[in-house]
Structure 1
C-alpha cells in the first residue's frame, strides 16, 4: 500500500483525535480535582521532598505535566511559590508524566481498549446530562479517556506497515546508522515534534508506535524520549514570556533541569540502555534490543527510570540550580507606577482562583500599608518616621504639634479611589469568571470587606482631622489635651498594627491584634469620663463637647476598622460576613 496524501491526513487526524481526548480528559480532571490540587500545591511545598511528591501527585492525577508546570509558573508569578519550591514541584511533575506513558503502553498495546472505548463514550455522554457538576466532569473524563484510546487505535491503524512500505525503513536506515550522531538527530526530532504538537504524551505515543512497528530501534526511540523531555519545557517558557521575572526563572529552571538530565544520560547512553534492557528482562519482558514487541514496555521503563534517577541526583542541587537561574534571569525592577495605579492586579492572574486571591491580597495589603497608613498618620499630625521609631508616644506628639496641612479628600482621590475601584472590579471578575469553592468565594468577600473598611477608615480620619487642625491651634488647653490624647492613642494603635506585620499568616499576630483592640478601646472608654468632667465643670463649650463626643465615636470606629482590616488581610480570620453587603463602591461622604 502506497503511503500518500490521504494516508498522511489519516495519520494527522488520528493524532488530532488522540490529542483531543487527552485535552478533554485532562481538563475534566482539573475541574474534578484541580482546586484541591492547587490548594495542596500552594500550601505543601515548603520541603523539597514534599514538593517533589506534590508535583508527582498532581501530574499523576491530572495527567498533564504541561498543566502542572503552567500552574507552577502562574503560582510563581503570584508569589505563592518560591523558586526552590517551584523547582522541586517541577521535578516531581517529570516523574508524574511517566504515568501517562505506562497508561498508553499497558492499555494501548497490552490491552485492546478499542473494544470498550465506544461503550465508555456512551456512558460518559450519559453523565454529561447530569445536573451535578461533579458527575458532568466525570462524564467528560470518561469521554476523553475513551476518545484518547480510540485516537490511539486510529494511530496504530494509520501507521504505514513497514512490510508494505519498505522505502520508509530504507529512508530511516540512512539516518539510523550514523552511530551516536543518530542518537543526537532523533533527540532533536523528539524535541521538535513535542514543540509542534505541544504534548509530550502525543509524541510519546508516536514514538511507542514507531518502535512497535519496527521503524526505529530501541536506542533511537529512547533518544526521542529524551528529546520530548526538552520539548515539553517550551510550553512553560512560552507562558512565561509575558510574566514577571519570578515566573521566567521557574520556566528556565524547568529547562535547565531537563537539559542537565539529558546531558548526563547522553554521556552514559549505551551503558544506560544495557541497564534498561537488563531491567526489562528481569521484569519478565523480552530484551528490547532483540524484540521490537518488547520496546514499548522498555521505553516506558526507560522514561520512568531516567526521570526518577534525574530527580534523585539533582534534588540535592536545587539551590545551585536556583542561583544559576537567578543569574541567568536577573530581578527586573518593575517600572514605577503612578500613585493611582494598581501594583499587582493583572488579568493573567485570573487564570486560577488561588492566583486571583493572592493578587487581591497583595494589592490590598499594599494599599493598606502605604496609602491608608500615610493618610491616617498625617491626618493625626504624626510623621511616619516617628511612628516607626522607638520614641515614646508623648514625645512624638509634642514633637509634631505643627499642622501637617493634609488634605484627606485629595489623598483619597489621588491614592486610594482608583485602586479601590480596580480591586473591587478584579474581585468581581474573579467571582464571575472562575469556578470558586465556597471557601474561596468567602475569602474574596473578606478581601472586598477589608477594602470597604479602608474607605471607612479614611472617612472617619477626615472627620477627626478637621478638629485636630482646629483645636491644636486654639487656646483652650483642655481641648488641646484631649486631642493630644486622641493622637497619642492612635499612634500607639497604629504601632501595634503596622510595626509587627508578619510576612505570612501568624497566629501570634492575630492574638496581639485582639489584645490591641481591647486595650485601645479600654483607654478610649476611660477618657469618656474625662469628657463628662469637662462638660460638667463648664471647662469647654457645647460646640467643643459636641466635637469631642463625635470624634470619640469616629476614633472608636477607627480602632475597630484598623484591627478588622489587619485581621482580614493578615490572619485569614473567621470574621462572619453579614449578608447583604453592597458589591459596588461605597461612596466616600466628604464635602
Structure 2
C-alpha cells in the first residue's frame, strides 16, 4: 500500500472541506436562529434525559455518531444549545451508534446517508438564489449540513486504504499474548485506527475481519471496540477547532465521557467479557471466547453478535453511571477549557425560558441581563476605539472581525431581552413595574443602537482601507479626541446601568453632553471649510464625517439612557437618526 504526498494533500483538502461545511452551517444557523428554532432545541435538550433521547434518535437515523456530535458542536457554536444541554445529547449519540453496530452485525451493511447528500443539495440549491433572506439562509444551513457529510466521506476515502488491505494488520497477532497489557495495546490500536480512518464503523468491520481470520481473539476485539469509542471523538474535536469556547467544551465533553467509560470498564474487563459470553450463549450462539486461530464457523458467526452486545451494554452502563455526574463533569471541563478573552456566546445568562414566580424577580432577572448586554456593547465600543487608533492592516482585520461578531450578538440579545420584557408586561403589573419595564425596553433599544453605530464606524474604516485612503494628522487627532469625550460620557452611562450609580451629578453630565455637541459643531464647520478649500479628497471627507456623526449618535444614546434612569428631563439633544 503506497501513500503519496498527493494522497496527503487530498486528506488535508478533505479536512478543509469538512471544516468549511461546519463553518457554513454554524454561521447560517446564527442567521436563521429564531425564537421558535431555539425553543424547539431547548425543549429537546431541556434535561439530561430528553437530551439522551434526542442524541440517540438523531444518531440512529443518520447512522453516524460523528456527524451527530459535529452538528451538536455547530448548534452550540451558534448559541442554539448550551454546553450543559449538549452533554445529554453526547450520551445519547453513544447509545445511538450501537444501532450501526447491530445493522453491520445482522444485515452486513449500514445506511449510507452520504448517498442522499447530492440530491439534497440539488433540491436546496435554488434557495441560495432566493430574494427572501430567510429562505436563502436556510439553503445555506442545509448545504452546510450536506458538505459536512461529504467532508466526512472524503476524509474516510482519503485515509490510507487499510479497509481493502486488512492483511497489513496481520502482524497484530504478535501482540495478543501479553495478558492485560495486550488489552491496553489493542485499545490503543482501536483509538489510532479510528482516528486514522475517521470511521468507527469501518474499524468495527476491520475488527470483525481480523476475528474471522483468526488473527485476534474476541477479548482483543472487544478492547479495540473500547478504543474506537475514544477515537471517534476526534471528528467533533476537529470541528471545534474553528468554534467558540462552548463548542470546544462540548467536543471535550465527548472525549471525557468516552474516556471515563473506558477507565471504568478496564478493571472489570475480563469478568465483563464473561458476562457478554453468557448472554451470547443464552441467545443460542456459540461462545465467542476462543483463542485466536481456533475460530470455527459457528464462533465466527457469534463474534459480531457478541461484539454488538458488548458495545451496547458498555454504552448503556456508561450512560447510566455518568448521567448522575453531569454537573461535576461540566464543572471539570469548564475549568480545563477556559473562556477565551472576548469569546462571547450568543446566549442570555440570567433570563430563562419562562417567567419567575413573581413579577419583581422577573424584572430583576431582566435588569441583570441588561447589565450584561451593556457590558458586551462596552467591549464593542472599546474595540471600535482601538480600530480607530491603529493603522496596522492585521489589527484592523482583527478588530473588524470582533466588531462584526459583537454586532451579531447584540442583534440577537436585543430580540430576546425585548421578547422577555414583553412577556412580563402582559402580567398584572403595578404602575411602577410597568414604568420600569417600559424604561428597560427603551434602554435595550438604545444600547443596540450604540452597537449599530460601532458597526457603522467599522464599515466606514473598512471603506477607507479598501479604498487605500488616509486621514491627515488633524483629522486623525480630531477623531481620537472626540472619541475620548464620548468614552467619558459612555463610562458614566455604564456606571448607571451596571452599578446603579443614580447619585451622579446630573448637571455635570449634561454639561459634558453640551460640550460634546459644541465639539461636534466645530468639527462639522471645519470639515465643510476644508472641503471647500480642497484640504482633502471628498471620499476621505465623507468617511471622516460618517465617523464623527456616529460618535455623536453614541453620545445622544448614552444621554437618553442616563435620562431614563436618573431624570425625567428630556435629553439635551433630540435624536438625529
| TM value normalised by structure 1 | 0.51
Residue 64 and residue 363 in structure 1: after superposition, are their counterparts in 2 closer, same or farther (change >3 A)? farther
The match for 1:322 is 330
Counterpart Cα distance in 1 of 2:216 and 2:508: 84
Matches within 5 A, 1:406-555: 406=516, 491=562, 493=564
Residue 396 and residue 258 in structure 1: after superposition, are their counterparts in 2 closer, same or farther (change >3 A)? same
Conserved 8 A contact 2:384-2:399: no
Alpha-carbon deviations, 1:216-240, whole Å to 9, x = none?
Answer: 2211111111001111122233333
Conserved 8 A contact 1:381-1:403: no
Gaps of 5+ in 1: 350-354, 414-454, 466-485, 497-519, 525-547, 559-587
Counterpart Cα distance in 1 of 2:117 and 2:99: 26
Alpha-carbon deviations, 1:19-58, whole Å to 9, x = none?
Answer: 9xxx9xx99xx99xx9999865455323122222222222
Conserved 8 A contact 2:163-2:206: no
Is 1:238 aligned with 2:238? yes
**What is the CA distance between 1:329 and its match in structure 2?**
2.7
Residue 279 and residue 338 in structure 1: after superposition, are their counterparts in 2 closer, same or farther (change >3 A)? same
The match for 2:97 is 97
Counterpart Cα distance in 1 of 2:172 and 2:251: 34
Q: Give the number of the structure whose alpha-carbon radius of gyration is greater.
A: 1
**What is the CA distance between 1:246 and its match in structure 2?**
3.0
Alpha-carbon deviations, 1:167-219, whole Å to 9, x = none?
Answer: 986x4443222222221111111111011111212212222332234332211
The match for 1:402 is 511
The match for 2:341 is 333
Is 1:299 aligned with 2:307? yes
Residue 79 and residue 285 in structure 1: after superposition, are their counterparts in 2 closer, same or farther (change >3 A)? same
- Alignment size in residue pairs: 394
Counterpart Cα distance in 1 of 2:285 and 2:403: 51
Matches within 5 A, 1:46-125: 46-108=46-108
Counterpart Cα distance in 2 of 1:81 and 1:385: 32
The match for 2:254 is 254
Conserved 8 A contact 1:77-1:246: yes
Alpha-carbon deviations, 1:459-498, whole Å to 9, x = none?
Answer: 8975996xxxxxxxxxxxxxxxxxxxx99986564789xx
Counterpart Cα distance in 1 of 2:244 and 2:54: 24
Residue 381 and residue 242 in structure 1: after superposition, are their counterparts in 2 closer, same or farther (change >3 A)? closer
Give 3-state SS (helix, strand or coil) of 1:97's partner. helix
Residue 347 and residue 381 in structure 1: after superposition, are their counterparts in 2 closer, same or farther (change >3 A)? closer
Conserved 8 A contact 1:344-1:362: no
Conserved 8 A contact 1:344-1:359: no
Alpha-carbon deviations, 1:432-462, whole Å to 9, x = none?
Answer: xxxxxxxxxxxxxxxxxxxxxxx9xx88975
Alpha-carbon deviations, 1:335-390, whole Å to 9, x = none?
Answer: 986325687957999xxxxx997686369988546686999998899855346676
The match for 2:288 is 288
**What is the CA distance between 1:276 and its match in structure 2?**
1.3
Is 1:265 aligned with 2:273? no
Alpha-carbon deviations, 1:308-355, whole Å to 9, x = none?
Answer: 110110111112122222332333334986325687957999xxxxx9
Conserved 8 A contact 1:101-1:205: no
Counterpart Cα distance in 2 of 1:65 and 1:408: 63
Residue 81 and residue 266 in structure 1: after superposition, are their counterparts in 2 closer, same or farther (change >3 A)? same
Conserved 8 A contact 1:156-1:209: no
Counterpart Cα distance in 1 of 2:313 and 2:43: 29
**What is the CA distance between 1:294 and its match in structure 2?**
0.9
The match for 1:361 is 412
Give 3-state SS (helix, strand or coil) of 1:108's partner. coil
Alpha-carbon deviations, 1:387-437, whole Å to 9, x = none?
Answer: 6676879x96556442432269979x9xxxxxxxxxxxxxxxxxxxxxxxx
Conserved 8 A contact 1:343-1:363: no
Conserved 8 A contact 2:190-2:231: yes
**What is the CA distance between 1:268 and its match in structure 2?**
0.8
Give 3-state SS (helix, strand or coil) of 2:215's partner. coil
Alpha-carbon deviations, 1:98-121, whole Å to 9, x = none?
Answer: 122122222217x9x9xxx9xx99
Residue 201 and residue 392 in structure 1: after superposition, are their counterparts in 2 closer, same or farther (change >3 A)? same
The match for 1:385 is 495
Counterpart Cα distance in 2 of 1:176 and 1:211: 12
Is 1:191 aligned with 2:191? yes
Counterpart Cα distance in 1 of 2:190 and 2:108: 20
Counterpart Cα distance in 1 of 2:251 and 2:116: 36
Counterpart Cα distance in 2 of 1:246 and 1:125: 28
Conserved 8 A contact 2:453-2:550: no
Q: CA RMSD in A?
A: 5.8
Matches within 5 A, 1:159-178: 171-178=171-178
Residue 371 and residue 329 in structure 1: after superposition, are their counterparts in 2 closer, same or farther (change >3 A)? same
Counterpart Cα distance in 1 of 2:407 and 2:560: 36
Alpha-carbon deviations, 1:260-299, whole Å to 9, x = none?
Answer: 1111111110111111122223344333226121111111
Conserved 8 A contact 1:105-1:297: yes
Counterpart Cα distance in 2 of 1:380 and 1:77: 30
Residue 223 and residue 215 in structure 1: after superposition, are their counterparts in 2 closer, same or farther (change >3 A)? same
Residue 382 and residue 55 in structure 1: after superposition, are their counterparts in 2 closer, same or farther (change >3 A)? same
Conserved 8 A contact 1:380-1:487: yes
Gaps of 5+ in 2: 127-138, 291-298, 344-378, 388-397, 416-443, 455-482, 524-545
Conserved 8 A contact 2:101-2:308: yes
Give 3-state SS (helix, strand or coil) of 1:289's partner. coil
Residue 348 and residue 278 in structure 1: after superposition, are their counterparts in 2 closer, same or farther (change >3 A)? farther
Counterpart Cα distance in 2 of 1:463 and 1:223: 63
Give 3-state SS (helix, strand or coil) of 2:108's partner. helix
Conserved 8 A contact 1:225-1:303: yes
